[in-house]
Structure 1
């Protein structure tokens, strides 16, 4: 679980540019702007397609099975839906969102429960569950390009919902039968640690600044708070009766918990970890997610078979949307956000860390601090300075010898992949000495949204810059301090 449709951090930016022709106006970008989202109806094997502007179900996709998996994910361009067939079909399906036809199916030996997407849109993470009370379970890692299973990582018992950190460096899995969460390194596809939490943990969410993880424990009526740096559970928060779903607002300031048995949402201030209010819902509040702009929240109600649309500011329910039988996760949960302003956490233990020797070193600089964004000639540019813990798309890089950047560009018109950026992007020190790239890897060659992994010889200087020439009248300069 998390949040998608576009990503910010390892994030794709959308820029509305002049010159879009009528053909482009009907492209995936327009579809993404509409923010259609998808909800699996687990008891009948269907997917509800929701238009939030109309607050109604506009279509229903049949999977051809008796069940739908509880998790769901949407591709970054909105063209493919990744859903599962639960225990009845034991598979992951790739659905064309335009034609509603099945493009591909990946079969497993165990039931498919949670499904989540990497922030770069290249990998799918699927939890495989042996069933209620069963022992064992694992996380399947699928390369989306060919839907090939590249790894299968053993978790604790009964893995349920999945969450990827905003940087994409870790996957967290809630283990309902093991009373734990498993943390997996996406670089090595190996288990880092399994952390004991409350009883029947169903879902986990990581804050946009990657400082905290929150776990909803259904039978404990508690949310476990985990320090992401130390991987230690530091405290618990009282929620409602049967906390089942959990999400964080896009600005990181509020934690929303959906409670099965008390039929409500607990809204918690993340700065203080105090409850702000409780919002009544329909019967059996199941999962909760925010719209991309953070103005709306949506709650699935598993027994009343509907979705509530809630004004995130005044917390008032504005609409009820009928869906299928037993709705679960919302595809909006995969959207990755970033915080515009840092949050000063003041709750007990917030300032404590058991890994103090490395705190403050470059390896602990936040995603937000390492990201630079700008706009030049109608092109949105985002550059992320990578660390050894980040996803380098399978490339083996010696970070002691090289500086590495992920470069994302976005426009609605024109072919950005033809700009010869590899010949016009340099690493520059404070003396304006330019370094050419040692390696330029194309992660995505999309004409409107190219993504590159760029490596330079390391420069020992207090300040370094990326200099992009021939993109605008003046060079684009993005600066980082050591």
Structure 2
């Protein structure tokens, strides 16, 4: 082969390799789209990550609330409470492609580590339901306290935690045995719960107490209770719900509901570092993959607040659908 031809072929190969690498990298980062469930619009709103304008409204079952990606982030599951379904949204197509029906008032849910089983808080039934996503069949139902809401599955898939708003308890469920292993009494009307990244603390928001209970999962004991006092709000207006942790395990962001603030809390000291004013009845939140931006959903002002995590300042408010509930970012 002539030297000039060989050089040209090698150069072309290098360019092709670089281009393929860039393409793979771009695909791995996701679309950047922001997905927000809208309870009153019976839809999931899709926002462009640069302009923050609505690029599509995906029709769903009635009253979509909790959203979650599958493990590959190719699908979004939406719990449609009044539609009595779990809708499946194809992230690439931006449309509902599947629907699991006859699920009575699904509230919150989590996935097992393999992604096959979905564990759903069934508010009307007072139970934790287990849905096999491979065939759409319910394979079990575990009775818990009345009006269960928050639910999570531990990374090893052995344990589920469920809050009961009426019983004022967190139920620890043995998944293999399909029974309650322990009942942990917390504050009034527990809503959401979250495990710290290292798995050593279980945080539970108590809406009517205006507090967060911090539980040691090993001892099943409350180790501390965190209170909140943003200026200008009466105790009954402080109604914490959503809990979001930074990936490094240093900071927690607590949505304070009708107090219209996000509390910034040190996970190590469990002390409030700052309050950030956002929209009306801030409900849930999520972090961008790089943990640089925090997106908070404001249920009564019909918008999301975008917060700079390093500066702990709100940088933008974006209108979305009516009564937004959950936000996800495909990044």
**Structure 2 length normalisation: TM-score?**
0.85
- Establish whether residue 200 from structure 1 lines up as the match of residue 181 from structure 2: no
**Aligned counterpart for 2:87 among listed residues 79, 86, 93:** 93
Write the distance in 1 (CA, Å) between the matches of 2:138 and 2:29: 28
Deviation at 1:143, TM superposition (A): 2.5
Deviation at 1:235, TM superposition (A): 2.2
Write the distance in 1 (CA, Å) between the matches of 2:78 and 2:185: 29
Q: Greater strand share, 1 or 2? A: 2
Aligned to 1:317: 314
Aligned to 1:116: 110
Structure 1 pair 103/196, CA: closer, same or farther in 2 (3 Å)? same
Per-residue CA shift, 1:135-176, capped at 9, x if unaligned? x51111222222332221212110112222234332222222
1:55·1:319 contact (CA, 8 Å) conserved in 2?
no
- Establish whether residue 281 from structure 1 lines up as the match of residue 278 from structure 2: yes
Aligned to 2:210: 221
| 2:241 alignment partner, SS class | strand
Write the distance in 2 (CA, Å) between the matches of 1:256 and 1:222: 13
Write the distance in 1 (CA, Å) between the matches of 2:275 and 2:326: 21
**Aligned counterpart for 2:120 among listed residues 123, 126, 142:** 126
- Establish whether residue 169 from structure 1 lines up as the match of residue 158 from structure 2: yes
Write the distance in 2 (CA, Å) between the matches of 1:105 and 1:276: 43
Deviation at 1:22, TM superposition (A): 5.9
Aligned to 2:77: 82
Aligned to 1:152: 141
Write the distance in 2 (CA, Å) between the matches of 1:175 and 1:71: 17
1:72·1:116 contact (CA, 8 Å) conserved in 2?
no
Write the distance in 2 (CA, Å) between the matches of 1:51 and 1:163: 29
| 1:25 alignment partner, SS class | helix
Where does 1:427-446 land on structure 2 (aligned, <5 Å)?
A: none
Structure 1 pair 182/329, CA: closer, same or farther in 2 (3 Å)? farther
Aligned to 2:11: none
Aligned to 2:126: 137
**Structure 1 length normalisation: TM-score?**
0.59
- Establish whether residue 103 from structure 1 lines up as the match of residue 100 from structure 2: no
Aligned to 2:249: 252
1:32·1:77 contact (CA, 8 Å) conserved in 2?
no
Per-residue CA shift, 1:305-325, capped at 9, x if unaligned? 111111111111112222111
- Establish whether residue 302 from structure 1 lines up as the match of residue 299 from structure 2: yes
Deviation at 1:57, TM superposition (A): 3.5
1:57·1:321 contact (CA, 8 Å) conserved in 2?
no
Per-residue CA shift, 1:443-463, capped at 9, x if unaligned? xxxxxxxxxxxxxxxxxxxxx
Aligned to 2:37: 40
Corresponding pairs, count:
308
Write the distance in 2 (CA, Å) between the matches of 1:55 and 1:105: 28
Structure 1 pair 56/217, CA: closer, same or farther in 2 (3 Å)? farther
Gaps of 5+ in 1: 1-17, 131-135, 336-482
2:79·2:87 contact (CA, 8 Å) conserved in 1?
yes
Aligned to 1:270: 267
Structure 1 pair 144/23, CA: closer, same or farther in 2 (3 Å)? farther
1:166·1:208 contact (CA, 8 Å) conserved in 2?
no
Per-residue CA shift, 1:32-78, capped at 9, x if unaligned? 53443422111221112234444443322111x4421x211111222
Write the distance in 2 (CA, Å) between the matches of 1:32 and 1:166: 23
2:86·2:103 contact (CA, 8 Å) conserved in 1?
no
Write the distance in 2 (CA, Å) between the matches of 1:189 and 1:329: 29
| 2:129 alignment partner, SS class | strand
Gaps of 5+ in 2: 1-15, 230-237
| 2:284 alignment partner, SS class | strand
2:145·2:164 contact (CA, 8 Å) conserved in 1?
yes
- Establish whether residue 238 from structure 1 lines up as the match of residue 227 from structure 2: yes
- Establish whether residue 58 from structure 1 lines up as the match of residue 55 from structure 2: yes
Aligned-CA RMSD value: 2.6
Per-residue CA shift, 1:267-291, capped at 9, x if unaligned? 1111111110000001111112211
Per-residue CA shift, 1:228-272, capped at 9, x if unaligned? 111222221102511121121111111111111210011111111
Write the distance in 1 (CA, Å) between the matches of 2:28 and 2:52: 16
Aligned to 1:354: none
